[in-house]
């Protein structure tokens, strides 16, 4: 009897889960402080997932469960949860807004079908909004827009709608209009239904009344409603023809058109409200169901070969197809490593064995859980469309594909940006050294934008990240979560080197030490390329002066040398080597001899080719009160900043600029001092650019001093 009792509920669950039209895999993303986590908290309360709302400013939000998140009032890592609305299943990921953690947004968008883009009604489309929007466009994720904080001073729904068009280049399809703004915000008017929703002052989300459109809004509602219908019917030729003949489509027909346009990214249904005051969130939830796609309505995930080239095959979202899943996040906790996985096709059960196509190894699925922030519910099976966490996988990293071992395939991988800032760390004593190695290993698995390497010369452990805050959080996690005491060095800039001149040169490697010797001669051209072109090698050797089997060795010699530039030992970018001629010896030549010749040729010629130091230049976006604009601009100029634009808003001025990373360390403290704590800024990597002579000389001098110290 006992086995039958266990099997019955599992079968019932699977029957329910088969209806993928009832699934919505969505992410919530926005700029810092636009209200993503607060909005998520309201969604969880409305859907009955939680019974008491936790506030971000109290450190009690459900999805901000890290100590560092609760203290700072920001989201650091994405959190997954599942809830139900109108019998639809929502798999939700709440993502960070700070630029140092955009990797969390990128990898979340990679596995989602739809999203809610949250914008602050007073702040508008801010810099991180642009970055997240770009990521969502790259991943072709359908979105609805939610203009939050309508109760805030300076709130202006219509200005944000215009910014979506002018800054993001997107069409905001206005679905509701606000009733009042700032402290007078009371509710919204649904344009399709011509119905008002007005909340009372109790702060309870269910305490609202519906009614007719307010008299003073009738003309504006009719104008926006006409624009809405005209835009929507363009998605269906038959409905549009009837509309042009004077027959207004039904509400259901309009919704069908809006759904089509949202899924193909023609426009983005736009809502407004105040999450903190519990006004307007229900309408956004209804929009997720009505307009965002279910898993079967998005483009299937492409499959690639082991070199990353498309195979022409796709992971079809269908439980009956072979199993395909993408590991998009690793999280370590007290119960063991959790591998967050989006299942694209097929089905997976506890006890199954799956293949990791990256490692070529199989792993057994011992436990699977459904996540609710840092709580979990054990499950026995999952299927296409699900987002789950697998417990205890040993060799899986972010971006790895898990699949049916009998029908293997690899899904399109994730690409992560290179870090731009680094610090040296060392354990305080021997006991901490062992704990440090273990902790670092876990942290690297969790965050692909966090890199660690050992300096071969100094033997220092170097941590690399996306910004000062990113590394600051990592050190905090080392100390408090992993209980490791470390000594931290000053931040280091990831400089690069390049060349400016075209040089034709040759090098002969000749060595005779008894017995067979070594001989290799190469003639070559080294020339600069455009920024971003990287390293290029080409052979134009004719007539066999360098035998074909030795040419790859020449390329390898140059390629392995580019990690150490001629001036200060930083990696060298954007140049081309063309092999034009050479010579060999029938007995003494070998692949090794030609590789050694190429390495020596690199050292010989790069110094002649006008080498220069490049520094990372950052995009800076600063918000400052009007009274402090002059001070802020003067300070940016002193930091070698280039002011790109200024934009006045209701509560201050937004200054966009570019400045070298080396000049921006500690900027947040100086900005707060200048603006009495009211200034804010964000910063992200833009490009590499040549250093001024004085900075370059300083970088080279420090590199030489380091080398000298090592020799002693």
The stretch 586-600 carries a mean pLDDT of: 93
Query: Between 334 and 276, where is the model more confident?
Result: 276
Residue 700 belongs to some domain of the structure: no
CATH number where 640 lies: 3.30.70.240
User: Of 411, 443, 464, which residue constitutes the final position of a domain?
Assistant: 411
Among positive and negative, which fits the CA dihedral 138, 141, 144, 147?
A: negative
The stretch 413-425 carries a mean pLDDT of: 76
Written as six digits, the tokens of 557 are: 């010699």
For the cut 60, the answer to whether the pLDDT of residue 540 exceeds it is yes
pLDDT of 105 reads: 72
Q: What is the pLDDT of residues 149-168, one digit of tens each?
A: 999 999 999 999 999 999 88
* In a shared domain, residues 35 and 116: yes
Tell which residue, 366, 190, 371, 173, has the closest CA to residue 273: 190
Q: pLDDT > 70: what percent of the chain? A: 88
For the cut 80, the answer to whether the pLDDT of residue 66 exceeds it is no
* In a shared domain, residues 679 and 648: yes
* In a shared domain, residues 113 and 239: yes
CATH number where 520 lies: 3.30.230.10
CATH number where 324 lies: 2.40.30.10
* In a shared domain, residues 256 and 319: no
User: Of 450, 475, 493, which residue constitutes the final position of a domain?
Assistant: 493
For the cut 60, the answer to whether the pLDDT of residue 11 exceeds it is no
Give residue 650's domain range: 613-694
CA distances to 111, 362, 366, 706 from 351, rounded to whole Å, are 24, 12, 6, 54
DSSP, residue by residue, 537-590: EEE---TTSS-GGGHHHHHHHHHHHTTS-TTTSPPB-SEEEEEEEEE--TTT--
How far is residue 536's CA from residue 518's CA, in Å, rounded to a whole number?
Answer: 27
For residue 612, name the pLDDT band (cuts at 50, 70, 90): very high
Structural domains in the chain (count): 5
CATH number where 87 lies: 3.40.50.300
Q: What is the pLDDT of residues 378-413, one digit of tens each?
A: 899 999 988 888 988 888 888 889 999 999 989 887
For the cut 60, the answer to whether the pLDDT of residue 17 exceeds it is no
- Direct distance between the N- and C-terminal alpha carbons of the chain, in angstroms, rounded to an integer: 78
For the cut 60, the answer to whether the pLDDT of residue 308 exceeds it is yes
Residue 266 belongs to some domain of the structure: yes
pLDDT of 666 reads: 78
* In a shared domain, residues 341 and 472: no
* In a shared domain, residues 602 and 456: no
Whether residue 118 contacts residue 86, with contact meaning beta carbons closer than 8 Å, is answered with no
pLDDT of 93 reads: 80
For residue 299, name the pLDDT band (cuts at 50, 70, 90): confident
pLDDT of 187 reads: 96
Tell which residue, 437, 492, 447, 441, has the closest CA to residue 473: 447
pLDDT of 16 reads: 40
pLDDT of 64 reads: 38
For the cut 50, the answer to whether the pLDDT of residue 75 exceeds it is no
Whether residue 229 contacts residue 248, with contact meaning beta carbons closer than 8 Å, is answered with yes
Report how far Cα 278 is from the mean position of its chain's Cα atoms. 29
* In a shared domain, residues 108 and 241: yes
pLDDT of 370 reads: 84
CA distances to 255, 295, 409, 674 from 88, rounded to whole Å, are 17, 13, 31, 50
Residue 156 belongs to some domain of the structure: yes
User: Of 352, 386, 411, which residue constitutes the final position of a domain?
Assistant: 411
* In a shared domain, residues 142 and 34: yes
Residue 76 belongs to some domain of the structure: yes
How far is residue 280's CA from residue 285's CA, in Å, rounded to a whole number?
Answer: 9
Residue 654 belongs to some domain of the structure: yes
Say what angle helices 36-46 and 281-291 make with each other, to 10 degrees.
80
Residue 6 belongs to some domain of the structure: no
Average pLDDT, the chain: 84
H helices within 245-352, ranges in order?
Answer: 251-263, 281-291
Written as six digits, the tokens of 452 are: 């660690």
Written as six digits, the tokens of 331 are: 């999280």
Tell which residue, 203, 139, 151, has the closest CA to residue 179: 151
Residues contacting 319, CB < 8 A, separation 6+? 18, 345, 346, 347, 383, 384
How far is residue 425's CA from residue 595's CA, in Å, rounded to a whole number?
Answer: 35
* In a shared domain, residues 385 and 440: no
Report how far Cα 486 is from the mean position of its chain's Cα atoms. 28
How far is residue 519's CA from residue 511's CA, in Å, rounded to a whole number?
Answer: 7
Report the range out of 568-577, 660-669, 702-711 with the highest average pLDDT.
568-577
For residue 517, name the pLDDT band (cuts at 50, 70, 90): confident
* In a shared domain, residues 528 and 484: no
Whether residue 426 contacts residue 486, with contact meaning beta carbons closer than 8 Å, is answered with yes
Report the range out of 23-37, 188-202, 506-520 with the highest average pLDDT.
188-202
Q: Indicate the DSSP class of residue 56.
A: G
Q: What is the pLDDT of residues 89-125, one digit of tens each?
A: 898 886 664 455 566 677 777 888 999 999 999 888 8
* In a shared domain, residues 348 and 214: no
pLDDT of 15 reads: 36
* In a shared domain, residues 462 and 525: no
For the cut 90, the answer to whether the pLDDT of residue 138 exceeds it is no
Q: What is the pLDDT of residues 212-243, one digit of tens each?
A: 999 999 999 999 999 999 999 999 999 999 99
Q: pLDDT > 90: what percent of the chain? A: 46
For the cut 60, the answer to whether the pLDDT of residue 76 exceeds it is no
Query: Between 99 and 178, where is the model more confident?
Result: 178
How far is residue 181's CA from residue 191's CA, in Å, rounded to a whole number?
Answer: 18
DSSP H or E segment with residue 440: helix 430-446
Coil/strand/helix, residue 472: helix
Residue 467 belongs to some domain of the structure: yes
Residue 9 belongs to some domain of the structure: no
């Amino acid at each position: 009897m006992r086995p039958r009792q266990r099997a019955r509920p599992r079968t019932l669950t699977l029957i329910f889960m088969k209806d993928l039209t009832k699934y919505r895999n969505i992410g919530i993303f926005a700029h810092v402080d636009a209200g993503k986590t607060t909005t998520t908290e309201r969604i969880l309360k409305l859907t009955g997932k939680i019974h008491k709302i936790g506030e971000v400013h109290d450190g009690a939000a459900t999805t901000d469960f890290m100590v560092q998140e609760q203290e700072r009032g920001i989201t650091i890592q994405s959190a997954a949860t599942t809830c139900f609305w109108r019998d639809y299943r929502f798999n939700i990921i709440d993502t960070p807004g700070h630029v140092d953690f955009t990797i969390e947004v990128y990898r979340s968008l990679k596995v989602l079908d739809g999203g809610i883009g949250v914008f602050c009604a007073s702040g508008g489309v801010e810099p991180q909004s642009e970055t997240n929007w770009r990521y969502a466009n790259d991943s072709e994720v359908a979105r609805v827009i939610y203009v939050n904080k309508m109760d805030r001073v300076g709130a202006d729904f219509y200005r944000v709608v215009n910014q979506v068009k002018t800054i993001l280049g997107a069409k905001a399809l206005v679905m509701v209009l606000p009733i009042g703004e700032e402290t007078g915000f009371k509710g919204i008017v649904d344009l399709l239904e011509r119905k008002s929703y007005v909340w009372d002052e109790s702060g309870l989300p269910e305490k609202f009344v519906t009614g007719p459109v307010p008299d003073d809004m009738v003309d504006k509602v009719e104008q926006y409603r006409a624009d809405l219908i005209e835009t929507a019917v363009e998605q269906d030729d038959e409905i549009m023809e009837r509309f042009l003949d004077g027959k207004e489509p039904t509400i259901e027909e309009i919704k069908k058109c809006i759904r089509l346009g949202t899924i193909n990214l023609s426009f983005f249904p736009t809502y407004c409200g105040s999450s903190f005051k519990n006004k307007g969130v229900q309408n956004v939830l209804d929009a997720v169901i009505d307009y965002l796609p279910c898993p079967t309505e998005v483009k299937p995930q492409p499959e690639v070969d082991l070199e990353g080239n498309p195979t022409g095959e796709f992971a079809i979202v269908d439980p009956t197809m072979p199993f395909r899943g993408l590991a998009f996040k690793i999280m370590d906790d007290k119960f063991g490593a959790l591998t967050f996985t989006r299942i694209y096709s097929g089905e997976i059960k506890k006890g199954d064995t799956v293949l990791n196509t990256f490692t070529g190894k199989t792993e057994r699925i011992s436990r699977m859980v459904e996540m609710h922030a840092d709580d979990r519910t054990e499950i026995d099976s999952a299927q296409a469309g699900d987002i789950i966490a697998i417990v205890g996988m040993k060799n899986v990293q972010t971006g790895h594909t898990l699949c049916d071992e009998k029908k293997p395939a690899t899904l399109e991988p994730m690409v992560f940006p290179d870090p731009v800032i680094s610090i040296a760390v060392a354990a305080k004593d021997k006991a901490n050294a062992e704990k440090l190695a273990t902790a670092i290993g876990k942290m690297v698995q969790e965050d692909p934008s966090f890199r660690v390497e050992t300096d071969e010369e100094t033997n220092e452990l170097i941590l690399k990240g996306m910004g000062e805050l990113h590394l600051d959080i990592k050190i905090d996690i080392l100390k408090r979560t992993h209980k490791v005491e470390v000594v931290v060095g000053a931040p280091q800039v990831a400089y690069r080197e390049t060349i400016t001149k075209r040089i034709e040169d040759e090098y002969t490697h000749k060595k005779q030490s008894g017995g067979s010797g070594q001989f290799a001669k190469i003639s070559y051209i080294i020339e600069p390329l455009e920024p971003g072109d990287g390293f290029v090698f080409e052979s134009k050797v004719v007539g066999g002066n360098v035998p074909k089997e030795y040419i790859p060795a020449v390329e390898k010699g140059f390629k392995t040398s580019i990690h150490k530039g001629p001036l200060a030992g930083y990696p060298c970018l954007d140049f081309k080597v063309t092999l034009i001629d050479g010579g060999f010896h029938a007995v003494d030549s070998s692949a090794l001899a030609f590789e050694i010749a190429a390495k020596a040729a690199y050292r010989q010629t790069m110094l002649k080719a006008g080498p220069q130091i490049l520094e990372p230049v950052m995009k800076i976006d600063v918000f400052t009160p009007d009274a402090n604009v002059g001070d802020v601009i003067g300070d940016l100029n002193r930091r070698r900043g280039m002011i790109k634009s200024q934009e006045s808003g209701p509560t201050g001025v937004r200054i966009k600029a570019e400045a070298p990373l080396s000049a921006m360390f500690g900027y947040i403290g100086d900005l707060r001092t200048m603006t009495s704590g009211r200034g804010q800024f964000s910063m992200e990597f833009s490009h590499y650019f040549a250093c001024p002579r004085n900075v370059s000389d300083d970088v080279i001098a420090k590199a030489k001093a380091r080398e000298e110290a090592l020799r002693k």
